[in-house]
Structure 1
Amino acid sequence: MVANYLFGSSISAIQAQAKAFEVISHNIANSTTPGHKAETSTFEELVVDAGRVRGNVFPALRGASNVVRRDVRAEGGIQNTNGSLDLALSGRGFFLVNTELDGSGTTLLTDSGQFQRRIVENAGVEEVYLTDNVGNFVLGFPFDAATETFTTVTDTSGLVPIRLDAGGDSFQAVASTQSFIDANLPPDSATGEFFDVGLTIFDGTGAADGIADRHNVTARFTKTATNNEWTLEFFGDNATITAPAAPVTVTFNADGTLNVPPSVDLAITFTDSGGSIATTVDISDMRSFAPEFVLTEAGSNGFEEGDLVASRFNQRGELEGIFSNGQTRNLAKLAIGDVVNPELLAPVTDTHFILSGLNGDLQIFEADINGRAQIVTGALEGSTVDLGEELVRMIETQRAYSSAATTLRTVEELLKTATDLKR
């Protein structure tokens, strides 16, 4: 019936406003979702549908249609959380994540920096990785401990999932090569009187042998009969001192400053671990003043092998590992991705997007290098939803919906009246 087309405008308007209600409801529900990009509902008139007219004007009267757009480029406010793995990205770009651990899944872009630890069984071994709030694996540049540099790449194939468990990274043991003693020896000490200084020496053999890398070595200063003269010799538990082969003579000037030697070469073989080290013991800050022995400081470089016990991000996007031996070292660095036109990204969820083929090439960069983006630690980027605007849109949409419904009733009454007149 030709008159049925009179319902088209009001029905399409009701459908469009219903879709607008759906968009508003979805935005309000995600007003507190970190990284959520708000949608907006706009309308376009469908006055003429050239494909359907074909000499009949009625199919062309199609009313209105709803168009939903999402402002991907918009940024939500930065909200402090103090979470150790919470990150906000200010400026251009997105965090990069992948749906699969081995990188075979889909690479997604997101502003949601609500990261967490996820336990994954990989080849029968439980491993811990950094993931986003929906379980995707966060991608970053790997760190080369040997060169102490990050391996930067220009495509996602060179990025790696960031691992957080102790099995994924350890701090290799380093043998002591430099030691020092800073102490005061009283010049009026009796001949034969001695003072011991303890040194902690690391043999660098690591934990694989089951023997501690840390060893106690004693430096003994013994007063001789000669004025301002002492001897220095070394002793070690389960250790053989191979150098110096004999006690070293240490002399001081009349003003109490050290004369010779400024340092002593020390070589030790440890009988329990089998490790051997050669370290130079710096004694140039030694002095000889009355009235008593004072040990100011003594120590060595080197350290034991350490397991990863904690991690934290810094504002450069670097994930720093804290190890059981007290050392810290970088583990990885977050990779940031960007495209020429973010508005053309295809949404997968409200916070995650993929390339649509209309964005151009994915650009990968480091946040702290070119100034395009800044990482804020212990914070999250909030939703771009403005509740005030959504409430205004809700009132406007409700009135528009009511108007469309009134139009529908009016058309219905007109047709009923026409029908009654015909009868």
Structure 2
Amino acid sequence: MMRSMFAGVSGLKVHQTRMDVIGNNIANVNTVGYKASRATFQEMLSQTLQAATIDPSGARGGTNPMQVGRGVRLGSIDVRHTQGNTQSTGYVTDLAIDGDGFFVLGSGESRMYTRAGIFGLDGEGNLISLVNGLKVYGYMPNAQGEIDTSATMQPIRIASSATIDAKATNQVVFGGNLDARYEYGAQEVRIFQVYDSQGQQHTVRLTLERLNTPAPSNEWGWSAEWLIEGSRVRSDLVKHSGSQITHNVTYSVLSDEDESKLKLVVSGTTDPVATSTDGVVWETETDSSLQFQFAGALAPGDKVNVTLEQGQLVFTATRDLSSAGGSAGGSAEWMGNIEFSEDGSYRGVSHNVIKFRPANANELKIELDFSQFTQYADTFSGKVLSQNGYTSGSLDSFLIDQNGTIIGSFSNGLTKELGRLALATFRNPAGLLRTGSTMFVPTANSGEANPGAAGEPGFGQIAPSSLEMSNVDLAEEFTEMIITQRGFQANSRIITTSDEMLQELVNLKR
């Protein structure tokens, strides 16, 4: 009689535990990254009243064993690591995993794992969990700017001060059709920009000319000119007499080793002298410009000498024309021939390199790639397809793609990989231990973490600007709740019924 009561008590206990699990699941129905649990039961040790028997003679059949169970106990409480629904949030640092991986978080040497990708940036640019402040781990670029997912994981940091260094142009690619119907001597001009090692932009003018040497010719001549805008020098001169002021400008032009064509243009006029009512004469010149181009950098120190004289005061003033690469507009010119086959396909070029040395920057040596030109009797469409230089840029924004790669967008229009999120998988995810805040740590039965990255086989992919919702199924949980309630009621009846039977036994004494 007492056995039945204890069996009923054990039933009440396990159903109460199961109700606790169900209640926790329902409470976390809207918890990001939560994984539902389930409780299972198993019978306790049975008491054997009679063992199984068999008739050795075979004349009679055997008998089965007789056993009485001693109740029920908890079999397991396991976590269901099934995929939860994905909810779009619009926040760039909200991330969900579509697959089996876990985000890797940590502090110091400890590591924790989660499916809740509620991330953000702290004051130092570290990518952290907004749930508990733990840093998100991944892979950062090495000295060559490459991301190696086999390297040691480290905290992801997105510095707002990140920049892209300027890159000097060393190749310009041209393409399109050079119209074979053009008359000999006809020209087309294309203007394009290149960059030096300091990120300064320079303008180059390319002239394409249909040649007839030797006739008939399948060649086009090309010539390139480097165009530079000069810096302006302004000076107001005052003299106490009405005589003409003479401006003397001294300049020199350096010849480059490639015998490039150098041009110099000087322009400007002087306004007439005006006499004021107080007897002081003022003269102001209009803006003038000196324009020149050369292979070497213009060294500071070129002087403008102005002499003011009329017997009252004599002095000499000098002014630096080019203190920081200001030079005036002119051109350095290069040339060569582009040859085509009879069928209009590109054959080759006699010379395709231009070079010059901008002020305050390294020498530019640029290959002009004409290999994508054709010569057909069709509309002229020759143009610049690309050039590989750029100015420096600062970080404007970033996004995270499906492979967990953090891609920064910079002010110069370029993008750069700033890092890549790490993911980890386990042989037995159900063996992970919950630590709160939807975090897990490995146990002896889960196996060690297998690090990797999104997009790699077995790790899943990242759903950017999204969160993985709880995988709790309310319909299932309510059904389990009803079953658990009925089980609890039934086990309570075991106790009350056993109590009534004991009461009857006690009443026999009366």
Q: Same fold (TM over 0.5)?
A: yes
After superposition, residues 103-114 of structure 1 pair within 5 angstroms as 103-104=108-109, 106-110=110-114, 112-114=115-117
Question: Is contact 1:262-1:282 (8 Å) kept?
Answer: no
For residue 20 of structure 2, what is the aligned residue in structure 1? 22
Equivalent position of 1:40 in the other structure: 38
Aligned equivalent of 1:160, options 149, 154, 157: 154
Q: How far apart in 2 are the matches of 1:287 and 1:181?
A: 10
Q: 1:202 aligns with which of 195, 208, 215?
A: 195
The Cα of 1:24 is off from its aligned counterpart by 0.8
Are positions 1:171 and 2:174 aligned together? no
Judge conservation of contact 2:85–2:470 (CA < 8 Å) in 1.
no
Cα drift, residue 117 of structure 1: 1.5
The number of residue pairs the alignment matches comes to 380
SS of the counterpart of 2:436? coil
1:31 alignment partner, one of 29, 44, 54: 29
1:206-285 counterparts in 2 under 5 A?
A: 213-219=199-205, 221=207, 232-237=224-229, 244=258, 245-246=260-261, 247-250=333-336, 261-271=350-360, 274-282=361-369
Determine what percentage of the aligned residue pairs are the same residue.
Answer: 23
Paired residues of 1:268 and 1:276 also in contact (CA < 8 A): yes
- Is 1:308–1:321's contact at 8 Å kept on the other side of the alignment? yes
**1:54-82 residue CA offsets vs partner (Å, 9 max, x unmatched):** xxxxxxx985444551235x322453627
Query: C-alpha separation between the residues in 1 aligned to 2:463 and 2:392?
Result: 29
Q: Give the match for residue 116 of structure 1.
A: 119
Deviations 1:282-321 (A, max 9, x none): 4566799999997633652111222333333333333333
Letter in 1 for 2:205: A
Matched position secondary structure for 2:397:
strand
Unmatched tracts of structure 1, length 5 or more: 50-60, 206-212
Tell me the distance in 1 between the aligned counterparts of 2:170 and 2:26.
63
Q: SS where residue 233 of structure 1 aligns?
A: strand
Match of 2:77 among 69, 77, 99: 69
1:350/1:403 CA distance change after superposition, 3 Å: farther
Q: Is the 8 A contact 1:10 1:405 kept in 2?
A: yes
Match status 1:96 vs 2:71? no
Alpha-carbon separation, structure 1, partners of 2:347 and 2:426: 65
Give the corresponding residue for 2:424.
Answer: 337
- 1:248: Cα distance to partner? 3.4
Unaligned residue ranges in structure 2 (runs of 5+): 48-68, 214-219, 232-253, 262-332
- SS at 1:270 equivalent: coil
Report the Cα offset of residue 215 of structure 1: 1.3
Distance 1:380 1:148 in 2: 29
Deviation for aligned residue 1:177: 0.9
Structure 1 residue 159: Cα displacement = 0.7
For 1:71, the aligned partner's letter is V
TM-score (norm 1): 0.71
SS in 2 for 1:23: helix
User: CA-atom RMSD, angstroms?
Assistant: 4.5
Of 137, 140, 143, the residue aligned with 1:142 is 140
The 8 Å contact of residues 175 and 277 in structure 1, kept in 2 or not, is answered as: yes
The structural deviation recorded for 1:352 is 2.1
Q: How many angstroms apart in 1 are the aligned matches of 2:2 and 2:72?
A: 17
Instruction: Specify which structure has the higher proportion of helix.
Output: 1
Contact 1:17 1:400 in 2 (8 A): yes
- Superposition map of 1:376-415 within 5 A: 376-378=462-464, 380-410=467-497
CA distance in 1, matches of 2:17, 2:462: 36
2:321 is the counterpart of 1:318: no
- What is the aligned partner in structure 2 of residue 131 from structure 1? 129
Residues 235 and 242 of structure 1: CA distance in aligned 2, closer, same or farther (over 3 Å) = farther
Question: Cα gap change, 1:9/1:372 in structure 2, threshold over 3 Å: closer, same or farther?
Answer: same
CA, structure 1 residues 241+361, in 2 after alignment: closer, same or farther (shift >3 Å)?
Answer: farther
Q: Secondary structure at the match of 2:99?
A: strand
One-letter amino acid matched to 1:216:
H
Q: Secondary structure at the match of 2:140?
A: strand
Q: 1:318 touches 1:331 (CA, 8 Å); kept in 2?
A: yes
TM-score scaled by structure 2? 0.60
